[in-house]
Structure 1
Amino acid sequence: MRRGIALLLGAVLAASPALPAHAHPDHPTPTATATVPAAEPVYGKGWRPRAAIGQGPRQEHSVAAVGHRVYLIGGIIPDAAGGVETTGRMEVYDTRRDTWSTVAPLPVPMNHPNVATVGGRIYVLGGLSGGASWQALRDSFVYDPRTDKWTPLPPMPAGIERGSAAMGVRGTKIYLAGGMRTLTPGPGGLQDTVDLVSSYDVATGRWERLPSLPQARDHVGGAVIGSTFYVLGGRDRGQVNVRDTVYALDLRARRWSERAPMPTARGGIAAAAVDGKIYTFGGEGRHDGTNPNTVFSETEAYDTAHDRWVRLAPMPVPRHGTAAVAVGGTIYIPGGGTAAGAAPVDVNDVYRPAAS
């Protein structure tokens, strides 16, 4: 254990002071370059390809699982002008049949939506949207797969809205850590990262405030295992500020600690938990100044019981801006970008830890 830290819970939240936001000239201009690497992807060691996303490329989305189905929610897609646009489209992947279908779209288009599943229903608690500059939204909804309907929820309390937060669930509470209020794609784009930690109780509808993260983070991995909320990697106001930190919030004591760092510092990662381990995939950015637009293939797993990391077989198609979710011990990773900035693809890969 390295040093102390914190995350989310409480009554109606008061917003924490905004951190100064910085522009980064190295932030790439968004395009719709949906190209996968020229080399043929090499599968094996736990990796398998599955049916490509039915409606085409997607990036900066979220995923959720209900039963044997994976729901792909929001994000950005190529537009007719050769750029990208935010979408509310939701597609469903049937893990048993290897098929895609469309269902009712998110009522408000969002990228980087904050998504979690509780009691067989999918909750979306804010995200980002907009044109030239993506801004945080307070809009919140719950989706019932049985009726294929979205129901509006009261908006997030003013001052805590953000997208790209680390997410976790324990009981009836959804936890959110970090995120960003503003993301302006393109050279010099503003990236406003926050250290906010909060929780939403789906049973009572109450928001609570928890101790802030030790440092602000966005594009970060998150998971609750037992009574601990883990926040892994991410970045702080840009791809040149990616981090290897692992923060752990004791949800009973409401106290943060720092755990063994990630082997590879990166933001824009996907993360999913299986059997007490948190698996992290891909990502973007480099903090040593060599190439902030690096896209990673790294697959690294954190053993929460022993506080240690292990490197695993890399992603056959390196990606960032994707998302992961576990169904029956298999981790599903649809979409993402294969180049820095916006380069959405329709790739749909699965990783099975037991087969690696």
Structure 2
Amino acid sequence: MSIIKAPAGGGTFRYIKKKDYDPVKHILFDLSTLGLSAGNLHNYAWQKNGSVPTTAPHPLAASVNDKYYHIRQATGDLEEYDPQTGVWAIRASMPSPSDGCAACALGDKIYVSGGFDDRNAMRIYDTSTDTWTINSTALDKMRMEHTMAAGSDGRLYLFGHYHLDAEDINNTVYDPTTDTSSAIAPLPISSDIRYSAAVSIGDDIYIVGGEGSSNSSLYAYVWRYAPTSDTYETVSAMPGAKYQHALVAVSGKLIAIGGVSTSDVYEYDPAGDRWIKASSLVSAGTEHAAAVIADRIYMTDSSGSFYEHDSERNILVMEVA
């Protein structure tokens, strides 16, 4: 292990943003040479930022035009948070509320798919008019406890579902321009899977973790899906299994956050096909949902706790006295 000698005048250890580094004022420390953990290396600055106006199990989240949207699946309550003012506003309630839905944003709209009470539905919220529309037959097959991500082609991709013997294992692609859907290839796993999370980076979609809905096995698997070829590639698994977790993309990296009864946060670099453990959440919580606004992650859990953090990594320096 390397030994770094402090200057005669001493100094103070502190984390700073990379942009604030000044070689005259700061001595930069490489944490990997100091034998510190990957969590310290990345030092995510999580902050608890109060609570959402209403709480419920299985929250959904999305961001549109620098606003964060929190949806209670079971009741349809929709709340909008403005990071600039720190104020929550009540918006139009979602039609046909149900547990087991998935949500993502595309353009100015938020799409909420499926659920136990309206299994083939696609609900569409227009943030510019504060109005909802719904097509209860938009999906080609029933979808519950699944995940959904927006592709770079302007279509929505749905993966996994609650186990039903009558259902096949194909996944679904939904086209908002035609309000119709069709089947795509199943995940490369022998069992059914639910409570995964999915997000796009570039032209690829990553499907991360989940639970076997018929066998209750927990998974750390990660697949990269290419919509152009309708194929999957298995990439490096997470350090630990997750389900009902949040997944976001920031600066070309995946951030997998929390899940049921865990505070662990993992980061994935697609270029190196490598996961690392980042700093944990303030508390474990459960059933996390998150969205990104200007490289800051905003997150809620089923208890109603609301968190944010600056996703830019800090670096450890000694500030010379």
Offset at 1:141?
Answer: 1.7
TM-score, reference length from structure 2 = 0.78
Match of 1:168 in 2: 150
Matched, 1:250 2:250: no
For 1:302, give the aligned amino acid.
Answer: Y
**Consecutive unaligned residues in structure 1, runs of 5 or more:** 1-43, 76-85, 130-135, 183-190, 285-294, 337-344
Match of 1:304 in 2: 270
TM-score, reference length from structure 1 = 0.71
Change over 3 Å in CA distance of 1:319–1:179 after alignment to 2: farther
For 1:208, give the aligned amino acid.
Answer: S
Identity %, equivalent residues: 23
Matched, 1:318 2:284: yes
Q: Paired residue for 1:197, among 171, 177, 181?
A: 171
Change over 3 Å in CA distance of 1:126–1:50 after alignment to 2: same
Residue aligned with 1:214, SS: coil
Offset at 1:63?
Answer: 0.7
* Greater strand proportion: 2
Do the aligned partners of 1:168 and 1:222 also contact (CA within 8 Å) in 2? Answer: no
Q: Paired residue for 1:259, among 217, 221, 235?
A: 235
Coordinate RMSD, CA, aligned? 2.2
Q: What is the rounded CA distance, in whole Å, between the counterparts of 2:166 and 2:285 in structure 1? A: 23
Residue aligned with 2:312, SS: helix
Do the aligned partners of 1:282 and 1:315 also contact (CA within 8 Å) in 2? Answer: yes
Q: Paired residue for 1:333, among 290, 294, 299?
A: 299
Matched, 1:353 2:311: yes
Offset at 1:154?
Answer: 5.0
Q: What is the rounded CA distance, in whole Å, between the counterparts of 2:131 and 2:148 in structure 1? A: 25
Q: What is the rounded CA distance, in whole Å, between the counterparts of 1:193 and 1:178 in structure 2? A: 11
The answer to which of 103-112 and 153-162 deviates more is 153-162
For 1:53, give the aligned amino acid.
Answer: V
Residue aligned with 1:155, SS: coil
Q: What is the rounded CA distance, in whole Å, between the counterparts of 1:217 and 1:353 in structure 2? A: 29
Q: Deviations over 1:211-260 (max 9, x none)?
A: 10112321111111122111111111268410010011112222111000
Change over 3 Å in CA distance of 1:206–1:140 after alignment to 2: closer
Change over 3 Å in CA distance of 1:181–1:165 after alignment to 2: farther
Q: What is the rounded CA distance, in whole Å, between the counterparts of 2:232 and 2:142 in structure 1? A: 20
Offset at 1:181?
Answer: 5.4
Offset at 1:166?
Answer: 4.1
Residue aligned with 2:115, SS: strand
Matched, 1:156 2:130: no
Q: Deviations over 1:145-175 (max 9, x none)?
A: 1211111235234533323324333232011
Match of 2:48 in 1: 49
For 2:177, give the aligned amino acid.
Answer: A
Matched, 1:214 2:202: no
Do the aligned partners of 1:181 and 1:194 also contact (CA within 8 Å) in 2? Answer: no
Change over 3 Å in CA distance of 1:163–1:194 after alignment to 2: farther
The answer to which of 204-213 and 98-107 deviates more is 204-213
Matched, 1:115 2:103: yes
Match of 2:91 in 1: 103
Q: Paired residue for 1:65, among 63, 66, 76?
A: 63
Aligned length: 270
Do the aligned partners of 1:179 and 1:194 also contact (CA within 8 Å) in 2? Answer: no
